[in-house]
C-alpha cells in the first residue's frame, strides 16, 4: 500500500461515524440505505431495520466481534454478515440486485429469507456480471429474485440458486402512466462524472463518447423538423448533490448553449411525468429508456456503446440477443438509419405503434401496475403492516 492509498484510507476513516449502539433483533432488514429511499413510499412493511452497507457509520461493537470471529480471514463483508446475524431477521430485502455480497448472505446466515428487486439495466462490462465467470455457478443463493424480464431471470440463474419472478421495473410500476402529450423529443442523459473501468476487460472507457456522437445529430434533426429537443438529466438532486447536477448541465451546454436541460426532480414521479409528456424518447442504454418503453412511449434505442466499447452487453435489450438493427433500435452509428428510426417513430400511428410494441414488451420490460406481483408475495409472507 503506497502513501497515497494510506492517505485516502485515512481520509475515508475520518468521515465514518462510529457508534456503540446496542443491536436489537428485528423481523425485517432493509439492506442498504438507498433501498429504503426507493421503497419507503411504496411498501408498508412491518417493523424493520435499515442496514447501512456503505460504511458511512460503523458499530464498533459489531466490528470488534467480526474481527475476533474471522481473524485473519476478515473482510469488510464480514462486518455486514456479523451485523445481520445479531439482528436475526426472518427476511432481508434489497434493491441492490448487483451487490454480490448480498448474494452470499445465505452462506453465512442459513435461517433467513433473502429477497432482491432488480433496480437497473445490467451489463457484463463494469457491472456485477463482469466480475463473474461460469465457474462461480451456484456459489450464491437468493431465495426470491424479482427481475426485469425472463432473459435477466436466466442470466441471474446462471450464478444464483433461487426463485425468479418477472415484474418489470419495481419503481416504474409504482407510477401510473399519464396520457399528456407534448410535441417534443426527450433525450435521456447517461452522464457520469467518472470513467467506467471494466474488471473483466481491464480497460477504462470514456462513458460520454456515445453522447458526444449522438447529441449533435439529434440537435440537427430537431432543428430540421422544428420539434423541441430536451435533455433529461441523470443526476438526482436528492442523491447526487447540486454540484453533480450543475456539472451535467454544463456538459450539455457545451453542445448548444440554448439546449433545454431538465434536471432529474427530487421526486421520482417528476421524472416519469417528463417521459409521459413527450412524443418521442431517445436513449442509448439507460434503465429509464427501457422503462419509457414499458410506459407505452415511442422510444429510439441508439445502443451504440456496444460498438464504441466492443462489448455486446451494451446491445439493445441485452441479455436478449437482438438483431443489430430493428425498427426502433440500432447497435451501431449510422446517421441515415438513425434518421429512419426517428422518422418512423414520429410518423407511425398509435395503433401501428401499439401493434409493434406488443411484439417486444414482455421481452424487454413488462409493466405490472402498482406492483401487484411483489405486494402479493410480501403479503403472503406476513410482512405488510396492519392497516
Helix (H) or strand (E) holding 94: strand 91-94
Largest Cα span, the chain: 68
The pLDDT value recorded for residue 3 is 62
Tell me the per-residue pLDDT of 219-261, one tens digit each, with 9 for 90 and over. 999 999 999 999 998 876 444 456 788 888 888 888 888 888 8
Distance between CA 318 and CA 324 in Å, rounded?
Answer: 11
SS3 372: helix
Tell me the per-residue pLDDT of 342-380, one tens digit each, with 9 for 90 and over. 999 999 999 999 999 999 998 999 999 999 999 999 989
Closest C-alpha among 190, 170, 172, 191 to residue 96: 170
The pLDDT value recorded for residue 124 is 78
Q: Which domains does the chain have, with CATH numbers?
A: 19-173+370-380 (3.40.50), 178-365 (3.40.50.2000)
Helix (H) or strand (E) holding 198: strand 196-198
Backbone angles phi, psi at 233, to 5 degrees: -65, 160
Do 152 and 317 meet the contact criterion of CB atoms below 8 Å apart?
no
Do 75 and 88 meet the contact criterion of CB atoms below 8 Å apart?
no
Number of Cβ within a 10 Å radius of residue 384: 14
β partners of residue 203: 198
Question: Cell numbers at residue 27, please?
Answer: 423481523
Tell me the per-residue pLDDT of 40-61, one tens digit each, with 9 for 90 and over. 666 667 688 999 998 889 999 9
Do 122 and 93 meet the contact criterion of CB atoms below 8 Å apart?
no
Do 106 and 112 meet the contact criterion of CB atoms below 8 Å apart?
yes
Closest C-alpha among 222, 218, 235, 228 to residue 271: 235
DSSP string, 162-185: EEEEE-B-HHHHHSPPP----SEE
β partners of residue 283: 301
Tell me the per-residue pLDDT of 105-125, one tens digit each, with 9 for 90 and over. 999 998 999 999 999 999 877
The pLDDT value recorded for residue 42 is 66
The pLDDT value recorded for residue 160 is 93
The pLDDT value recorded for residue 1 is 45
Helix (H) or strand (E) holding 263: strand 260-264
This model's pTM is above 0.75: yes
10 Å CB burial of residue 25 (0-12, 13-18, 19+) is: exposed
Question: Cell numbers at residue 70, please?
Answer: 474471522
10 Å CB burial of residue 71 (0-12, 13-18, 19+) is: exposed
Residue 385 DSSP code: P
Do 304 and 332 meet the contact criterion of CB atoms below 8 Å apart?
yes
Closest C-alpha among 260, 267, 261 to residue 239: 267
Peptide bond into 208 cis (omega under 30): no
Number of Cβ within a 10 Å radius of residue 61: 16
Amino acid at each position: 500500500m503506497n502513501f497515497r492509498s494510506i492517505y485516502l484510507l485515512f481520509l475515508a476513516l475520518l468521515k465514518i461515524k462510529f457508534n456503540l449502539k446496542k443491536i436489537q433483533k428485528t423481523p425485517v432488514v432493509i439492506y442498504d440505505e438507498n433501498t429504503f429511499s426507493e421503497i419507503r413510499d411504496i411498501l408498508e412493511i412491518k417493523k424493520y431495520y435499515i442496514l447501512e452497507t456503505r460504511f458511512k457509520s460503523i458499530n464498533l461493537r459489531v466490528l470488534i466481534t467480526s474481527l475476533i470471529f474471522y481473524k485473519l480471514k476478515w473482510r469488510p463483508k464480514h462486518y455486514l454478515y456479523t451485523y445481520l446475524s445479531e439482528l436475526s431477521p426472518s427476511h432481508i430485502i434489497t434493491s441492490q440486485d448487483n451487490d454480490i455480497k448480498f448474494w452470499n448472505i445465505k452462506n453465512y446466515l442459513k435461517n433467513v429469507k433473502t429477497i432482491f428487486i432488480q433496480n437497473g439495466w445490467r451489463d457484463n462490462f463494469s457491472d456485477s456480471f463482469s466480475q463473474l465467470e461460469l465457474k462461480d455457478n451456484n456459489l450464491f443463493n437468493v431465495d426470491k429474485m424479482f427481475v426485469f424480464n425472463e432473459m435477466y431471470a436466466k442470466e441471474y440463474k446462471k450464478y444464483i440458486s433461487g426463485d425468479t419472478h418477472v415484474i418489470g421495473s419495481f419503481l416504474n410500476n409504482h407510477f401510473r402512466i399519464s396520457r399528456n402529450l407534448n410535441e417534443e423529443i426527450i433525450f435521456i442523459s447517461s452522464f457520469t462524472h467518472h470513467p467506467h473501468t471494466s474488471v473483466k476487460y481491464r480497460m477504462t472507457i470514456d462513458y460520454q463518447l456515445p453522447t458526444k456522437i449522438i447529441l449533435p445529430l439529434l440537435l440537427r434533426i430537431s432543428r430540421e423538423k422544428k420539434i423541441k429537443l430536451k435533455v433529461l438529466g441523470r443526476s438526482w438532486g436528492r442523491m447526487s448533490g447540486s454540484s453533480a447536477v450543475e456539472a451535467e448541465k454544463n456538459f450539455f451546454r457545451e453542445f448548444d448553449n440554448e439546449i433545454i436541460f431538465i434536471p432529474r426532480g427530487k421526486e421520482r414521479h417528476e421524472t416519469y411525468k417528463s417521459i409521459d409528456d413527450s412524443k418521442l424518447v431517445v436513449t442509448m442504454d439507460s434503465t429509464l429508456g427501457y422503462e419509457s418503453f414499458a410506459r407505452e412511449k415511442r422510444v429510439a434505442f441508439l445502443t451504440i456503446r456496444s460498438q464504441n466499447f466492443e462489448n455486446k452487453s451494451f446491445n439493445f435489450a441485452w441479455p436478449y440477443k437482438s438483431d443489430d438493427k430493428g425498427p426502433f433500435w440500432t447497435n451501431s452509428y449510422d446517421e441515415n438509419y438513425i434518421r429512419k428510426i426517428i422518422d418512423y417513430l414520429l410518423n407511425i400511428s398509435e395503433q401501428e405503434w401499439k401493434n409493434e410494441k406488443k411484439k417486444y414488451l414482455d421481452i424487454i420490460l413488462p409493466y405490472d401496475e402498482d406492483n401487484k406481483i411483489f405486494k402479493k408475495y410480501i403479503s403472503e409472507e406476513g410482512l405488510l403492516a396492519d392497516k
